[in-house]
């Protein structure tokens, strides 16, 4: 009886350990206001082509001419590869026009809905996948 209880507890503990990464995944829909979109022109300061999501950091001038540091999150590199993206798609200094679903908390962050590069290439993404 004691051995069977220990085996059962070990099995349950193993299942929790292996399922932890599943529970850790977050949904982007929670953080962003999908009913609103903001479009702005900016200059790329950093391009993070990494899992679990690609991040684009860029500077935008506000109405007063002050620089605001913005960030846009998008899909994983695997998903963005379907749109022709790779680790060289953007680089610091690139001029971009960005449309994002803004962060619900009012931070200068958003979920990328559309990106237009200086050469006119357009990537429309729509709503977050997760």
Range of the domain at 15: 2-124
Residue 129 inside a domain? The answer is no
Supply the mean pLDDT for the chain.
84
Residue 67 inside a domain? The answer is yes
Would you give the distance in Å from CA 58 to the centre of its chain? 14
Residue range 69-91: mean pLDDT, rounded = 94
What is the percentage of the chain residues whose pLDDT exceeds 70? 74
Domain with residue 20: its CATH number is: 2.40.50.140
Residue 88 inside a domain? The answer is yes
In DSSP terms, which residues pair with 42 in a beta bridge?
A: 96
pTM for the model stands at 0.75
Q: Could you give the number of structural domains in the chain?
A: 1
pLDDT at site 6:
64
Helix, strand or coil, per DSSP, at residue 79? helix
Residue range 97-115: mean pLDDT, rounded = 95
């Amino acid at each position: 009886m004691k051995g069977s209880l220990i085996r059962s507890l070990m099995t349950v503990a193993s299942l929790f350990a292996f399922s932890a990464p599943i529970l850790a995944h977050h949904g982007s829909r929670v953080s962003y206001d999908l009913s609103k979109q903001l479009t702005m022109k900016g200059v790329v300061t950093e391009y993070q082509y990494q899992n679990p999501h690609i991040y684009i950091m860029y500077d935008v001038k506000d109405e007063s001419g002050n620089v605001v540091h913005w960030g846009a999150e998008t899909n994983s590199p695997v998903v963005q590869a379907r749109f022709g993206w790779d680790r060289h798609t953007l680089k610091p200094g690139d001029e971009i026009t960005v449309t994002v679903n803004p962060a619900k908390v009012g931070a200068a962050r958003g979920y990328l809905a559309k990106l237009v590069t200086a050469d006119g290439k357009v990537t429309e993404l729509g709503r977050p996948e997760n």
